[in-house]
């Protein structure tokens, strides 16, 4: 699975947000109460604002993560995040890794030749904007001067790969960095040394083509994926893990843990064995937090509430667990430092 170093990523994120003026401006501003028996699970909420950037792919497993910049700023400014034990409660741990993954993306952008052109053409209102990671692509959703970006990127030596009426894609020949732009999206990616089949340019082009309405987003072609997007709250930090199969393949849930002395966190999806969809959400305010998860299965025989309860909400001050047919939901409240 994806591995990030927590303390290093937080440091890089702070540096990145300070360097990227647009991002910086946008970010200024347990026990259990339920035994896991039958209840009501809400599965027909609104689509998240970032649904339009989630492109269709041919990969068997689909992962996405998103964070708004207000939440990113809250986590970075939390001094408690620099110390203490790493969270073992997956309602907290998995979304925090999304935040770290996104912060690492910001640091990459801040250190690229495109950082100046990005900042100069970012018109996202203060307090707004979000960062989405999907299909190997980081996507900043906001408002951009696309014509200005195009001019500046070419002046910086980026090569134009694709130029359509509503989007364009550029590459850096030296680093392999790929950048896609629309009026509302700035997407970027890099070659993956661990995946020879990953094409950063193609992935970025899929993203901006989808975001600009020239390609159907994944939720428009897959009803089960749309239901996953609508399964819970979409503010703060969200993540989704999905497969079109009846259940996740073992390699999609692998929990390759860091060494005992490693200062790192990883996604942990082993508790979701037998499921085909997971939606998690975390909201942070000062030192308090609320978290939720909805886990969906193909049939009753695969549902394992006990397995889920052993990993989700274990550190919560209050926890509600509900089952509605083949879906199980968790809603938890936390107080005190998250770390």
Report the distance separating Cα 159 and Cα 113, nearest Å. Answer: 13
Which residue is it, tokens 């993956």? 192
DSSP letter at 5 equals E
Report the distance separating Cα 186 and Cα 121, nearest Å. Answer: 10
Name the maximum alpha-carbon separation found in the chain: 61
Question: Domain boundaries in the chain?
Answer: 3-110+216-334
Q: Helix crossing, 6-19 with 90-110: angle to 10°?
A: 50
Closest CA to 294 of 270, 271, 278, 308: 278
pTM of the entire structure? 0.86
Over its length of 339 residues, how does the chain's per-residue pLDDT go in tens digits?
A: 334 444 545 555 555 555 554 444 443 443 444 444 444 444 568 899 999 999 999 888 999 999 998 887 766 665 444 444 567 889 988 998 888 888 888 888 988 999 999 999 999 988 788 999 999 999 999 999 999 999 999 999 999 999 999 999 999 999 999 999 999 999 999 998 888 889 999 999 999 999 999 999 999 999 999 999 998 888 899 999 999 999 999 888 875 443 333 445 688 999 999 999 999 999 987 668 899 999 999 999 999 999 999 999 999 999 999 999 999 999 999 886 554
């Amino acid at each position: 699975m994806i591995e990030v170093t927590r303390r290093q990523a937080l440091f890089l994120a702070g540096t990145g947000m300070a360097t990227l003026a647009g991002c910086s401006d946008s970010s200024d501003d347990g026990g259990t109460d339920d035994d896991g028996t039958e209840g009501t699970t809400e599965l027909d909420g609104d689509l998240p604002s970032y649904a339009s950037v989630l492109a269709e792919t041919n990969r068997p497993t689909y992962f996405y993560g998103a964070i708004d910049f207000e939440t990113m700023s809250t986590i970075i400014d939390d001094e408690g995040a620099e110390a203490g034990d790493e969270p073992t409660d997956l309602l907290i741990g998995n979304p925090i890794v999304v935040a770290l993954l996104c912060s690492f993306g910001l640091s990459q952008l801040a250190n690229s030749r495109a950082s100046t052109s990005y900042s100069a053409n970012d018109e996202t209102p203060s307090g707004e904007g979000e960062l989405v990671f999907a299909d190997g692509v980081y996507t900043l959703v906001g408002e951009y001067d696309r014509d200005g970006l195009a001019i500046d990127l070419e002046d910086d030596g980026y090569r134009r790969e694709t130029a359509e009426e509503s989007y364009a894609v550029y590459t850096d020949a030296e680093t392999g960095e790929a950048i896609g732009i629309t009026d509302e999206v700035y997407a970027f990616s890099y070659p993956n040394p661990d995946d020879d089949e990953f094409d950063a340019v193609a992935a970025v082009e899929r993203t901006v083509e989808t975001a600009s309405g020239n390609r159907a987003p994944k939720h428009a072609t897959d009803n089960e994926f749309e239901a996953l997007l609508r399964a819970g709250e979409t503010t703060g930090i969200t993540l989704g893990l999905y497969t079109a199969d009846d259940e996740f393949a073992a390699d999609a849930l692998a929990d390759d843990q860091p060494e005992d002395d490693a200062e790192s966190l990883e996604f942990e999806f082993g508790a979701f064995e037998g499921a085909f969809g997971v939606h998690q959400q975390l909201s942070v305010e000062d030192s308090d937090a609320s978290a939720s998860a909805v886990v969906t299965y193909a049939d009753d025989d695969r549902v394992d509430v006990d397995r889920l309860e052993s990993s989700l909400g274990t550190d919560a001050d209050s926890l509600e667990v509900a089952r509605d047919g083949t879906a199980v939901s968790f809603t938890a409240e936390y107080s005190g430092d998250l770390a």
